Amino acid sequence: MTDPTLGFYDTADLREAARRRLPKGLFEFMDRGNDDELAMRDNHAVLASIKLNPRVLNDVSVRHQDITLFGKPQKMPVIVAPTGSAGLAWHEGEIAIARAARAHGVPFTLALGSMTKLERVAAEAGGPGSSLWFQFYMWPERKLSHQVIARAKDAGFEALVFTVDTPVAPGREYNLKNGMTIPFKFTTRNTLDVLTHPRWLAGVWLRYMLTTGTPRYQNFPESTQTKITALPMGRSSNFCANITWDDVRELRRLWPHKLIVKGIQHPADAVLAADCGADAVVISNHGGRVLDAAPVPILTLPRVVDAVGKRITVIVDSGFRRGADVIKALALGANAVMLGRAPLHGVAAAGEPGALRALQIYRDEIDRVLALVGCTRLEQLNREHVDLSYVRGNI
Ligand X SMILES: Cc1cc2nc3c(=O)[nH]c(=O)nc-3n(C[C@H](O)[C@H](O)[C@H](O)COP(=O)(O)O)c2cc1C
* Active site residues per annotation: 286
**Site for ligand X contains 84 (CB under 6 A):** yes
Q: If binding is defined by CB under 6 A, does position 81 make contact with ligand X?
A: yes
Whichever of 22 and 122 has its CB closer to ligand X, that residue is 22
| Stretch binding ligand X (CB under 6 A), from 11-19, 91-99, 270-278, 312-320 | 312-320
Task: Tell me, residue by residue from 266 to 295, as one string, x for binding to ligand X by CB under 6 A and - for no binding.
Answer: ------------------x-xx-x------
* Binders of ligand X in range 194-223 (CB under 6 A): none
CB-based contact 365:324 (threshold 8 Å): yes
Q: Which is nearer to ligand X, 292 or 317 (CB)?
A: 317
Name the minimum Å distance from CB 342 to ligand X: 6
Please select the residue that binds ligand X; options are 82, 232, 333, 354, rule is CB under 6 A. Answer: 82
> What is the total count of residues that contact ligand X (CB under 6 A)?
23
Nearest Cα to Cα of residue 281 among 349, 355, 333: 333
Cβ atoms of residues 46 and 296 within 8 Å = yes
Closer Cβ to ligand X, 55 or 177, answer by number: 177
Q: Does 262 bind ligand X (CB under 6 A)?
A: yes
Contact 261, 162 (CB under 8 A): yes
User: In this complex, which beta carbon is closest to ligand X, that of residue 132 or of residue 375?
Assistant: 132
- Cis omega (within 30 of 0) on the bond before 267? no
Binding string, residues 157-186; x marks residues near ligand X by CB under 6 A = ------x-----------------------
As measured in angstroms, the least distance from the Cβ of 277 to ligand X is: 20
Q: Compute φ and ψ for 49, nearest 5 degrees.
A: -95, 0
Closest to ligand X by CB, 84 or 375: 84
Among 79, 111, 243, 349, binds ligand X (CB under 6 A): 111
142-291-299 Cα angle (round to 5) = 110
Instruction: Considering only the stretches 71-79, 82-90, 217-225, 356-364, report the one whose residues sit in contact with ligand X under the rule CB under 6 A.
Output: 82-90
Give dist(CA 378, CA 331) in Å, integer.
8
> In the window 128-147, what residues touch ligand X (CB under 6 A)?
135
- Integer Cα distance of 342 and 28 in angstroms: 14
Nearest to 282 by CA among 241, 234, 369, 340: 340
Cα–Cα distance for residue pair 187/193, rounded to 1 Å: 10
Q: Is 340 in the site for ligand X (CB under 6 A)?
A: yes
Q: How far apart are CA 60 and CA 80, in angstroms?
A: 28
Single out the residue of 193, 269, 292, 317 in contact with ligand X (rule: CB under 6 A): 317
Cβ nearer to ligand X, comparing 208 with 320: 320
For residue 318, state whether it binds ligand X (rule: CB under 6 A): yes
Contacting range for ligand X; rule: CB under 6 A; set: 75-83, 142-150, 152-160, 266-274: 75-83
Work out the number of other CB atoms within 10 angstroms of the CB of residue 67. 19
* Residue 113 within binding range of ligand X, rule CB under 6 A: yes
In the bound state, the residue with its beta carbon closest to ligand X is 340
Amino acid occupying residue 296: V
H-only helix segments in the chain: 11-21, 24-31, 38-49, 93-104, 118-125, 142-155, 173-177, 188-195, 198-200, 206-210, 245-254, 267-275, 297-308, 323-331, 341-372
- Asked if 83 interacts with ligand X (CB under 6 A), we say yes
23 binds ligand X, rule: CB under 6 A: no
* 319 near ligand X (CB under 6 A): yes
Nearer to ligand X, 84 or 346 (CB): 84
Q: Would you give the DSSP letter of residue 96?
A: H
Q: Is residue 98 a contact partner of residue 350, using CB atoms and an 8 Å limit?
A: no
By CB under 6 A, residue 11 contacts ligand X: no
Give CA–CA dist 324/335, Å, rounded: 15
**Separation of first and last alpha carbons in the chain:** 45
Which parts of this chain interact with ligand X (CB under 6 A)?
A: 30, 81-84, 111, 113, 135, 163, 234, 262, 284, 286-287, 289, 317-320, 338-341
